[in-house]
C-alpha cells in the first residue's frame, strides 16, 4: 500500500516556521490581493489565502473590483500597488472576468512583488536556474517529495501537463535537481508506455481517472496536482486513487496533498519578498 504524501500535515509544519520568521521582521509582511468579479471559486481561494496569511502573521489587503472593471483601471491599481511601500507582494487572482487580458496585467507587476512568479523576468530567472521566487505549485510538489526523502537525482520524472502554471516550471525545477524529465501533453502518443517508466509521476492534466493502475511503475511516487470538481461537487484528482494506491510507493490524496502545499509556498514567497525589500 502506498505511503500517503500528507500535504496538509506538512503544510501545517511549514506554516509554523513561516509564522516565526514573519514575526521576526520589524513589521509584518503585507500581501495585496486583486480580486475582480465574483467567480465563486476565486472567492473561495481568496478567502483561503487571507486565512492562511492571518494564521502566519502576514497582513492582507484585498482590492475587490466589479466584473466590469476596465483593463486600464486594473493597470492603474497594479501601478499604485507597485509603488506602495507598505506592500511586499501582489497577487492578481485568476481567472480575470471575461474581456480582460491577464497577460499585460501580470507583466505590469513589479517583479520584486510578483509572489506568484508569473512575471517574464521571474519566469526567465527560473529558466536560468537562478529563481527569485519559486512558482507555488511546482515548489509545493518538490517540498513534498523532499519531506518524504524521495530522491530526484538520476530518477525518471514524468509530468502530465505542460501549462505555464504547473508542468513547465515543474519540469525546470526537477531538471535543476538532476531528474530526467519527460513532459507530456494531450498530443503525446502511447502515454502508458512512458508513464510506466517513471519513478516520479506527476499528473497536472485536469482529467479525472487519467492515471490508472496499469500506467504506474510499482513503487513509483505519484503526485496528483489536479483538482477536478465532479457533478456531485466532490473534488478529485487525475489519479484512480483506490487502484493506484496498491501499486505506487507514494501517493498524494486529493484533497490534502498538493493543494495545501501550493498555499504554503505562496506564504513563503510573501516572506521572501518582504525580506528582499527590507534587505533582511
Which of 49, 52, 88, 199 is flagged as catalytic? 49
Question: What radius of gyration do the chain's Cα atoms show?
Answer: 19
Per-residue x/- marks for ligand NAP, 110-139, CB under 6 A?
A: ---------------------------x--
Whether 93 sits among the annotated catalytic residues: the reply is yes
Tell me how far, at minimum, the Cβ of 85 lies from ligand NAP, in Å.
Answer: 31
Whether 49 sits among the annotated catalytic residues: the reply is yes
* Separation CA 198–CA 217 (nearest Å): 6
* Separation CA 214–CA 23 (nearest Å): 48
Beta strands 59-65 and 30-36, pairing class: parallel
Which of 116, 199, 224, 238 is flagged as catalytic? 116
Candidates 29, 135, 138, 161: give the one binding ligand NAP (CB under 6 A). 161
Is 111 in a helix, a strand, or coil? helix
* Separation CA 280–CA 278 (nearest Å): 6
Span interacting with ligand NAP, options 40-48, 55-63, 93-101, 256-264, rule CB under 6 A = 256-264
Q: What is the DSSP letter of 94?
A: S
Tell me how far, at minimum, the Cβ of 237 lies from ligand NAP, in Å.
Answer: 8
Candidates 40, 83, 187, 232: give the one binding ligand NAP (CB under 6 A). 187
* 160 near ligand NAP, rule: CB under 6 A: yes
Report the candidate in 161, 248, 172, 244 with the shortest Cα–Cα distance to residue 203: 161
Candidates 227, 239, 247, 271: give the one binding ligand NAP (CB under 6 A). 227
- Our CB check for ligand NAP shows the closer of 94 and 243 to be 94
* 103 near ligand NAP, rule: CB under 6 A: no
Candidates 5, 210, 211, 248: give the one binding ligand NAP (CB under 6 A). 210
Per-residue x/- marks for ligand NAP, 40-79, CB under 6 A?
A: ----------------------------------------
Q: What is the DSSP letter of 97?
A: P
Span interacting with ligand NAP, options 24-32, 97-105, 183-191, 267-275, rule CB under 6 A = 183-191
- Our CB check for ligand NAP shows the closer of 53 and 160 to be 160
* 162 near ligand NAP, rule: CB under 6 A: yes
Alpha helices in 114-198 (DSSP H): 120-127, 136-147, 167-176, 191-195
Contact 118, 94 (CB under 8 A): no
* 256 near ligand NAP, rule: CB under 6 A: no
Helices 7-23, 40-55: crossing angle, 10 deg rounding: 50
Helices 7-23, 258-278: crossing angle, 10 deg rounding: 20
Q: What is the DSSP letter of 215?
A: G
φ/ψ region of 219 (left if φ > 0, alpha if ψ in -120 to 50, else beta) reads: left
By the criterion CB under 6 A, which residues form the site for ligand NAP?
A: 137, 160-163, 165-167, 184-188, 191, 204-207, 210, 225-228, 258-259, 262
The residues annotated as belonging to the active site are: 49, 93, 116
Amino acid at each position: 500500500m502506498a505511503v500517503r504524501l500528507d500535504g496538509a500535515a506538512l503544510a501545517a509544519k511549514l506554516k509554523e516556521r513561516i509564522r516565526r520568521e514573519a514575526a521576526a521582521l520589524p513589521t509584518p509582511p503585507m500581501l495585496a490581493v486583486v480580486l475582480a468579479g465574483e467567480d465563486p471559486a476565486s472567492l473561495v481561494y481568496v478567502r483561503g489565502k487571507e486565512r492562511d496569511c492571518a494564521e502566519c502573521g502576514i497582513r492582507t489587503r484585498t482590492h475587490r473590483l466589479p466584473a466590469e472593471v476596465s483593463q486600464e483601471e486594473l493597470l492603474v491599481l497594479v501601478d499604485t500597488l507597485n509603488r506602495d511601500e507598505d506592500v511586499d507582494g501582489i497577487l492578481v487572482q485568476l481567472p480575470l472576468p471575461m474581456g480582460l487580458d491577464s497577460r499585460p496585467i501580470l507583466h505590469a507587476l513589479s517583479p520584486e512583488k510578483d509572489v506568484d512568479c508569473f512575471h517574464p523576468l521571474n519566469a526567465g530567472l527560473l529558466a536560468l536556474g537562478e529563481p527569485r521566487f519559486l512558482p507555488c505549485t511546482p515548489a509545493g510538489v518538490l517540498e513534498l517529495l523532499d519531506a518524504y526523502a524521495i530522491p530526484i537525482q538520476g530518477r525518471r520524472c514524468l509530468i502530465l501537463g505542460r501549462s505555464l502554471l504547473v508542468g513547465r516550471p515543474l519540469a525546470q525545477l526537477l531538471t535543476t535537481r538532476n531528474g530526467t524529465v519527460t513532459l507530456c501533453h494531450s498530443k503525446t502518443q502511447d502515454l502508458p508506455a512512458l508513464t510506466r517508466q517513471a519513478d516520479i509521476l506527476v499528473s497536472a492534466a485536469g482529467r479525472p481517472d487519467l492515471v490508472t493502475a496499469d500506467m504506474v511503475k510499482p513503487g513509483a511516487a505519484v503526485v496528483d496536482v489536479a483538482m477536478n470538481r465532479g457533478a456531485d461537487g466532490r473534488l478529485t484528482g487525475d489519479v484512480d486513487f483506490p487502484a493506484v494506491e496498491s501499486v505506487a510507493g507514494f501517493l498524494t490524496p486529493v484533497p490534502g496533498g498538493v493543494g495545501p502545499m501550493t498555499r504554503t509556498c505562496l506564504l513563503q514567497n510573501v516572506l521572501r519578498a518582504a525580506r528582499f525589500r527590507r534587505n533582511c
